[in-house]
Amino acid sequence: MKKYNLRVYGIIINSNNEVLVSDERRYGVSMTKFPGGGLNWGEGHKETLVREIKEEMNLDAEIGEFFYVNDFFQSSAYREEDQLFSFYYRVWKVDFAAIPISNHSYPLTEEGEKFRWVSISELSEEMFTFPIDKVVSLLIAKTIQL
């Protein structure tokens, strides 16, 4: 059965003009993406992102303005019969010092999730796993003032 899969991701940028990325390994697959995840029934986009940041980093966050949604067809990497819509928002208020940044090699070889900062000036689509994140990385590099 064909379904829609709604995802919500955060664009978190620190005072050093670095954007937060998530390196993950799930079900034996390594990926680099933006922090966030799937919309649950009954949630709005911003609620989803607040929940995801709490689950992934144990932090409270205030979600800012809408940044991007894909306007092209994208099937899910995990369920080809699902059409993916990914919504991206700026994240304004989060305790940057409390984000669990790690000095790790990537791609990850063990199951889990780790975070790192990437300078906007060094951001490239090649560092991301999924097509929509690749588009967003280029938009960030093009539109965010350094």
The CATH number that applies at residue 88 is: 3.90.79.10
What pLDDT score does 72 carry? Answer: 94
- The domain tally of the chain equals 1
What pLDDT score does 145 carry? Answer: 64
Alpha carbon distance 46, 44 (integer Å)? 6
pLDDT in tens, the chain (146 residues): 789 999 999 999 999 999 999 999 988 889 999 999 999 999 999 999 999 999 999 999 999 999 999 999 998 888 888 999 999 999 988 998 999 999 899 888 999 999 999 999 999 999 999 999 999 999 999 988 65
Residues linked to residue 93 through DSSP beta bridges, in sequence order = 62
DSSP 77-111: SS-TTEEEEEEEEEEEEE-GGGS-B----SS-SSS
What pLDDT score does 100 carry? Answer: 93
Q: Supply the pTM of this predicted model.
A: 0.93
Residues 87 and 8: beta-carbon distance below 8 Å: yes
What pLDDT score does 146 carry? Answer: 54
Q: What are the structure tokens assigned to 41, written together?
A: 């029934």
- CB atoms under 10 Å from CB of 53, counted, come to 23
Q: Which domain holds residue 45?
A: 3-143
